[in-house]
Structure 1
Amino acid sequence: MTSSTTTDAQTPSTGKRRFRAPSFSVQIIGSLVLGVLLGWWALSMGTVDDGTPEGGANWLTTTLDTIGSSFVLLLRTLVPPLVFTAIVASITNLRHVADGARLAAKTLMWFAITALVSVAVGIALGIIMRPGQNTTLDIADGSEPGRTGSWLDFLDSLLPANFLGLGANTSTQVAESGAVTASTSLSFNVLQIVVMALAVGIAALKVGRKAEPFLTFNRSALEIIQKILWWVIRLAPLGTLGLIGNAIASYGWDLLAPLGTFAAAIYIGLAIVLLVLYPVLLRINGLRVLSYFRGAWPAIQLAFVSRSSIGTLPLTQRVTERNLGVPSAYASFAVPLGATTKMDGCASIYPAISAIFVAQIFGIDLSVTDYLLIAFVSVIGSAATAGLTGAIVMLTLTLSTLGLPLAGVGLLLAIDPILDMGRTAVNVAGQVLVPVIVAKREGILDEEQYRSATSEDLFADDEEAEEIVDEAQADAGTPVTVGAPTVTGAPVPEGRDKNS
Structure 2
Amino acid sequence: MSTPKSRSSRNFGIAVLAGLVLGALLGFVAKQTDTAWLTTTLKTIGDVFTSLLQFTVIPLVFTAIVVGVTSLRGLGGARTAARLGGKTLLWFGVTSLIAVLIGIAVGLIGGAGKGVDVEPSATAVDKLATRDHGDWLTVLNGLVPSNLFSAFTEGEVLQVVFVAVLVGIAAYSLGERAAPFVAFNKAIFDIIQKVLGWIIRLAPLGVLGLIGTAFATYGNGFVKPLLSLIASVYVAAALVLFVVYPVLLRFYGKVSPKTFYAKSWTALQFAFVSRSSGATLPLSRQSAVNLGVDPGYAGFAVPLGTTTKMDGCAALYPAIATIFIANLFGISLSGWQYVGIVAVAVFGAFATAGTTGWFTMLTLTLGTIGLPPEVIATGVAIVYGIDPILDMIRTATNVAGQITVPVLVARGEGLLDDEVLAAPPLLDTPEPTPVKEPALV
Smaller-chain TM-score bracket: 0.5 to 0.7
Q: Which residue type is aligned with residue 105 of structure 2? A: A
Q: Which residue type is aligned with residue 113 of structure 2? A: G
Question: Cα 1:386–1:152, aligned 2, differ >3 Å: closer, same or farther?
Answer: farther
Q: Which residue type is aligned with residue 307 of structure 1? A: R
SS of the aligned residue for 1:275 comes to helix
1:104-162 deviation digits (Å, cap 9, x = unpaired): 1111111011000111101111111111214x574459999x9x894566639988755
Q: Which residue type is aligned with residue 289 of structure 1? A: P
Alignment partners' CA distance in 1, 2:402 and 2:230: 23
**In the alignment, is residue 127 of structure 1 matched against residue 108 of structure 2?**
yes
Instruction: Identify the residue that residue 66 of structure 2 maps to in structure 1.
Output: none
Alignment partners' CA distance in 2, 1:141 and 1:312: 40
| Identity level (%) | 44
Q: 1:430 aligns with which of 401, 406, 415?
A: 401
Question: Where do 1:131-210 residues align within 5 Å?
Answer: 131-134=112-115, 136=116, 138-139=118-119, 150=161, 155=168, 161=182, 169=191
Instruction: Identify the residue that residue 320 of structure 1 maps to in structure 2.
Output: 288
Q: Which has the higher strand share?
A: 1
**In the alignment, is residue 263 of structure 1 matched against residue 230 of structure 2?**
yes
Alignment partners' CA distance in 2, 1:172 and 1:293: 37
1:282-301 deviation digits (Å, cap 9, x = unpaired): 11122111111111122211
1:268, distance to aligned residue in structure 2 (A):
0.3
**Unaligned ranges ≥5, structure 2:** 3-9, 23-40, 43-73, 125-154, 173-177, 199-219, 431-441
Q: Which residue type is aligned with residue 396 of structure 1? A: T
Q: Is 1:331–1:435's contact at 8 Å kept on the other side of the alignment?
A: yes
Alignment partners' CA distance in 2, 1:434 and 1:320: 9
Instruction: Identify the residue that residue 340 of structure 2 maps to in structure 1.
Output: 373
1:458, distance to aligned residue in structure 2 (A):
4.2
Alignment partners' CA distance in 1, 2:416 and 2:161: 37
**In the alignment, is residue 384 of structure 1 matched against residue 355 of structure 2?**
no
1:67-90 deviation digits (Å, cap 9, x = unpaired): xxxxxxxxxxxxxxxxxxxxx9x9
Q: 2:326 aligns with which of 322, 334, 359?
A: 359
Q: How many pairs were matched up? A: 303
1:444, distance to aligned residue in structure 2 (A):
1.2
1:273, distance to aligned residue in structure 2 (A):
0.1
**In the alignment, is residue 340 of structure 1 matched against residue 307 of structure 2?**
yes
Instruction: Identify the residue that residue 102 of structure 1 maps to in structure 2.
Output: 83
Question: TM-score scaled by structure 2?
Answer: 0.59
Alignment partners' CA distance in 2, 1:365 and 1:128: 15
1:324, distance to aligned residue in structure 2 (A):
1.3
The structure, 1 or 2, with the larger RCO (C-alpha pairs under 8 Å, 6+ apart) is 2
Of stretches 110-119 and 305-314 in structure 1, the one that deviates more from structure 2 is: 305-314
CA RMSD of aligned residues (A): 4.4
1:258, distance to aligned residue in structure 2 (A):
4.8
Alignment partners' CA distance in 2, 1:331 and 1:269: 27
Question: Cα 1:349–1:142, aligned 2, differ >3 Å: closer, same or farther?
Answer: farther
Alignment partners' CA distance in 2, 1:393 and 1:115: 16
Q: Is 2:113–2:225's contact at 8 Å kept on the other side of the alignment?
A: no
Q: Is 2:308–2:356's contact at 8 Å kept on the other side of the alignment?
A: no
* Structure number with bigger Rg: 1
**In the alignment, is residue 417 of structure 1 matched against residue 384 of structure 2?**
no
Q: Which residue type is aligned with residue 280 of structure 1? A: V
Q: 2:428 aligns with which of 445, 459, 473?
A: 459
Q: 2:367 aligns with which of 400, 403, 422?
A: 400
**In the alignment, is residue 350 of structure 1 matched against residue 317 of structure 2?**
yes
